Chains A and B, each alone.
Chain A
Amino acid sequence: MTAQAATLTTAPVSDSATDPCTIVIFGASGDLTARKLMPALYNLALDGRLPPGLAVVGYSRTKWSNDAFREEARKNVEEHSRRPLDPEVWDSFASGLFYSYGGYDDPEGHDRLNEKLREVEAERGIGGNRLYYLAVPPTTFVDIIEQLGRCREQSAAGESWSRVIIEKPFGVDLASARELNRVVHTVFSEDDVYRIDHYLGKETVQNILVFRFANGIMEPIWNRRYVDHVQITVSESLGVGHRGSYYDGSGALRDMVQNHIMQLLALIAMEPPLAIDGLSVRDEKVKVLNAVRLFDNDEVALATARGQYGPGWVAGEEAPAYRAEEGVPDDSRTETFAAMRLFIDSWRWAGVPFYLRTGKRLPKRSTEIAITFKPAPQLLFQDFVDEPHLEPNVLSIRIQPNEGISLKFLTKVPGSPPRLRPAAMDFLYGTSFVIQSPSAYETLLLDALQGDATLFTRSDEVVAAWTIMDRVLNGWHSMPPLELPNYEAGTWGPAAADELIERDGRKWRKL
């Protein structure tokens, strides 16, 4: 198996499948552009995978010239690219970088941008295909979309296509997500909207579908008969860093659960799609999200937990309390940890709990999905184990770090008296493939250029995920205020998270 076969891209990618076009980045002076987008585009250039003549036009309020933008981009690529800068490739790539400045809601700025785009397109002979990337804070999404609509009306687009990539967060609750969908759809048809969740661009996330549906032994046991429960953990050891003021308006549920964790849940729990394409895969994901049992306020109290970190030690370094982080108010009530138990009311999953948890300033960075299978009957080996029950088999899919899959099973310790002990059969993704995996943004940018939306979130998926989360947010809102902070930085979250799972006679995995 090659690394390519392990991705969801159905046909082998050939450069000719990508039409000549221009990428327009809104927020070109920002962090995402610097750390992710420019390095990703450069790496695609290095692999010769960008469409011929591609132009990248940056737009933001910062007053840069083309040269200043190129200089900035070079610095960022040197600092953040996964491979070193090759001067020859860079020169050719940089000759396609342009910049135009203006406000996001400023018609003049957008007119200037359009003028520039027409010039560049004519000069490079690349027609009018455009991929707009909204790498800006979400408060500016609507302004930009409206301006794009206005400009489009002025110029009959003809045969060429216009697509838009929209960064997360897509809305802050169900109502705002629906409203954003409405605005977006006034300008773009759903087929041209690429809501990005960079988790879906990760090789191992895509590999979930390959693992599940390309291996005959998995599907027969992937159901309530064999699976005891599923745990999804996205733990971060870092705090909010310089994103304090953004994060404080969001919190763990909106920042992680509504998007990344819901996507992981959907991929793990969905039914086999008819084909690996944007329509079939996303249809199945929506179905499973719609089957998640919605909480009422009582269940929110029983089956969810939230917390905020106080000071502590993480990875050998002293960590301040969340409320002491830059940009965070000292009386903030924002949750930096969220955990919950969900049920999926489907034939496949009835009665199987899905435990989800995420948090900041936890002891280590780790994203994994663990499927715990029902244990074998004790009968034969009860004298050979220390525990009252045989340890169950656990299949864990590690998304990061050390991407891979491991299966825990019981084995006999050599010698006598006979004793059983768990061992892990470990597949480390990187060790089996010699080529380095592309970054999530490389994969997703290339997919968007090629018009493949499989790895992007559809409007109904966003609505389905927000529908689940809205109930949790409402429940939390109606509960008496919690004593915060309620967990020490460097621990696995508040006691309530342990109680949530221990009430069911289970434990969070030791990660």
Chain B
Amino acid sequence: MGKRIGVEVSIAAAEAAALADVDVIAAYPITPQTHIVEHLSELVADGHLDAEFIPVESEHSAMSCCIGSSAAGARTFTATSSQGYALMSEICYIASSMRLPIVMTVANRALSAPISIWNDHADMMMSRDTGWIQTVAENGQEVVDLIFHAFKVGEDHRVLLPVQVNLDGFILSHMIEPIHMPDKAEVDAYLPPYKPAMRLDPAHPVSMGPVGMPDIYTEAKMAQDQALRNSKAVIVEAWKEFGDKFGRYYKPVETYKTEDAETIIVSMGSISETAMTAADALRAKGKKVGVARIRLWRPFPEAELFEPVKGAKNLVVLDRAMNFSGGDTGILGGEVKSVLFDQNHHPSLRNFFVGLGGRDITVQNFEEMVEKASANGGKPVPYEIINVRD
């Protein structure tokens, strides 16, 4: 029946990958992801996990090994952060184009320069258009559950795409949290063994990764785009099955007190917990505030996001990453605006950049942002960086 334990989230993530019985792990150390792969190599060293652990010489090679391994038909896992992600990004695009169901956890961290080991979502934002399915965890339990879900969805023959599970560096990765770890039999009942749809096998020779001339490149991209679009139904279905088996139900967008909210905070990741605390504090002062948290980042859940926010007068959209658009909106801000445009809906919207490179965000900050959004009156205002010293 599994058990509930107090455990560092990184350790739990590694245990989850081990419970998924991964065959190959290829990874390179980078803070704050390191504990995940350290623990996996420990599990292999102690014989708790029968897998090949490839201690590669770079993240670029980590993802390249993962492609080789997944193409050979093995269940494959890796983890990275920030600069490591940036280095491997060339190969991440190829993993999704080749339709290989690799699972990667990214302990989100700011991008250099200045070099910073602390949290923000710059790496996640950089990875958003790679064609990977992307989920974002709010707490340790979700990290574990999303890892099982990632294998389940990615390996589904209706999908066959790599999946990136994002968790906030330090804020989540290094926290000790109470987490329910299922036992092997429970995981096996949810996650069938990986059956590759195609593999590098001398008995059935295939050529993977051929040259795409102009007369086929567009079709190749179309097919890939369809795969990502179609994955959404499977993602939701796999969450439903997960809920039925484990009692924890997930959906693409999570909501908190949005039904009657005048102002809704749109957020991703662990910051949403602070946002919910702030919503309660503001509600105590008579302000109707709610939170919509995006769990499924790619494919982007447009309808699921519009549904809870459509009644709100004001929207506070949080981008936890610097995005030098030079225009009015950051990345999430832009995505939300495009959803509203499609629905011909015009609330008062403010886009804030928060928590850059490990900067704290307080409940007071939320009060300030909610205030600004309410006072905006629907005019377009450029994004604003919160908590910046003058």
Query: Do A and B share a complex?
Result: no
User: B interface vs A, CB < 8 Å?
Assistant: none
User: A interface vs B, CB < 8 Å?
Assistant: none
